[in-house]
A and B are shown apart, each in its own frame.
Chain A
């Protein structure tokens, strides 16, 4: 019975996430239509007026003369097959341009997240167990500072330290080598870790103050055992949720980090496309990033529902 109810909530959430992605795609597609002209006029800029032949040619080539709803449907159906049309700038298919860059960004993201999670659990646990001591306040202060620094500031500081004062890592990551990945990964970890650390700390502190941990202690269980089998599993729920939220927001934040290091990923690609006003490319990358963001946020929600019994009943009734 209860399993069915949870299943229903999960299905409803997934459906509404799907609807959100659909509306987001509509918003992305419609933004350019708000202009008096169209994507072709935007791209050609001043030339659009002086060269009507080129404008007409571009419109025909990209099918911009067709009905709006037909174009939207075309675009969405194409996107489902990872086909986003051709770039205005390079004339190549957008998806063939995106693929290698998306892979590089995924690599950077994957490495950062893989290091970040265990590290933030460790730091958060130390901070919670040493609550009220100097270690705890040092961690909390460091956490606050690294959460408030924009990545392009902390990144500059790291480049200054490790490529200028003590040059052991390259300042730019144009070519993909293990060494060139160190600084970008470090910036991402520093920038996003504080949120999970905070959640791990508060999770453990809350559980430590609860009655059943008190009981386990009074039963005479060794404190290492209490920590391992009572505190940690319960404190992990908010940590996993924070981690999912982090994984959701990192792909958007990575744009600036990639630009800082000249890392040839999807973020730098997006910035170049925005500058060139290459609408098909901007729409494609935006849709991918937003869809990722929505899906990861959805996963975070679902994890919370599935993992927390209290929330499970709250959501259902």
Chain B
């Protein structure tokens, strides 16, 4: 089943930018997930003086406390990619479920949810995360919570407006007349019809969650030292940029691959709603 899907996808015509997007994204994710297994050294071991230049033993030199940059880079993607994925998936699940119910039921649930999403969306994602971290302290779990909280309301709004167009269409009425239950209609009748809208939304939110996690680590409020993480590496080593650029440039390139890759794919898939997407993108711009 999955194999036939992949075959179908491969047989479809794709634009050049989409192919480049996939290559960039897959490269970065492969490094993030499997880099750990090919890292030449343990990421925490110190080998020499801070910011030592490249040598044959250490291709990208050493970082601000003398650890191997290549090994830290190869180990540094996993955690933030995982955090962004888990947070976004949970947030999207909550958002899609509440958005569907909201469009389907209407009434008081819809208006209360609408007010509530408006309130959360009145906070830029980064500011909401900082408020949470200031109150509850910095931890990986809280970063996930912050992503869930900033993802769910937007996802709910997108789902609601997409589903609302379908609720009025006769096929939903027909399903009701057949005696199908509400939850069945929502999950089996409506959801597949708004799938493409939701996929674009998920792709966009994974990308912005990833940027948010890296930005938090970059300012020292996400993953904590001595963790090996791309955002954290940039933050830790940036003052040595003029002496030893590799510990900053290498992880920066990885984040660049990820975000540009994702955005190229989203862009070539995006069909609609330019104005709406500008507003959503800006609310999570970091």
Identify which of A31, A156, A195, A290 contacts B281 (C-beta below 8 A).
Answer: A195
Looking at the assembled complex, report how far the CB atom of B19 sits from the nearest CB atom of chain A, in whole angstroms: 14
Answer yes or no: A174 CB below 8 A from chain B CBs. no
The dominant DSSP class at the B interface is helix
Q: Are B127 and A289 in touch, CB under 8 angstroms?
A: yes
Answer yes or no: B50 CB below 8 A from chain A CBs. no
Q: Are A149 and B241 in touch, CB under 8 angstroms?
A: no
Q: Are B221 and A275 in touch, CB under 8 angstroms?
A: yes
Answer yes or no: B252 CB below 8 A from chain A CBs. yes
Q: Are A150 and B122 in touch, CB under 8 angstroms?
A: no
Q: Cα distance A157–B286 when bound, in Å?
A: 16
Binds B, one of A5-13, A228-236, A238-246: A238-246
In the complex, how many residue pairs between chain A and chain B have their CB atoms under 8 Å apart? 158
> Are A150 and B259 also in contact (CB < 8 A) when A20-B119, A252-B124 are?
yes
Answer yes or no: A259 CB below 8 A from chain B CBs. yes
Contacting B at CB under 8 A, from A153-183, are: 153, 156-157, 159-160, 163-164, 171
Looking at the assembled complex, report how far the CB atom of B279 sits from the nearest CB atom of chain A, in whole angstroms: 6
Q: Are A260 and B127 in touch, CB under 8 angstroms?
A: no
Answer yes or no: B86 CB below 8 A from chain A CBs. no
Q: Are B127 and A148 in touch, CB under 8 angstroms?
A: no
Interface size bucket, A side?
35 or more
Looking at the assembled complex, report how far the CB atom of A178 sits from the nearest CB atom of chain B, in whole angstroms: 21
Q: Cα distance A137–B249 when bound, in Å?
A: 27
Chain B residues near A152 (CB-CB < 8 A):
214-215, 218, 231, 234-235, 252, 286
Identify which of A35, A153, A164, A192 contacts B256 (C-beta below 8 A).
Answer: A153
Binds A, one of B60-68, B87-95, B130-138: B130-138
Answer yes or no: A249 CB below 8 A from chain B CBs. yes
Seen from chain A, the residues whose Cβ lies within 8 Å of a Cβ on chain B are 20-21, 23-24, 27-28, 31-32, 34-35, 42, 141, 144-145, 147-153, 156-157, 159-160, 163-164, 171, 191-192, 195, 198-199, 202, 238, 241-242, 245-246, 248-250, 252-253, 255-256, 259-260, 270-271, 273-275, 277, 279, 282, 286, 289-290, 293-294, 297
What are 13 inter-chain pairs, A to B, with CB distance below 8 A?
A24-B123, A141-B17, A151-B286, A164-B241, A164-B245, A192-B285, A249-B283, A256-B219, A256-B286, A259-B218, A271-B220, A282-B135, A293-B122
For the complex of A and B, the 3 pairs showing the least CB-CB separation, nearest first, are A252-B124, A148-B263, A249-B282
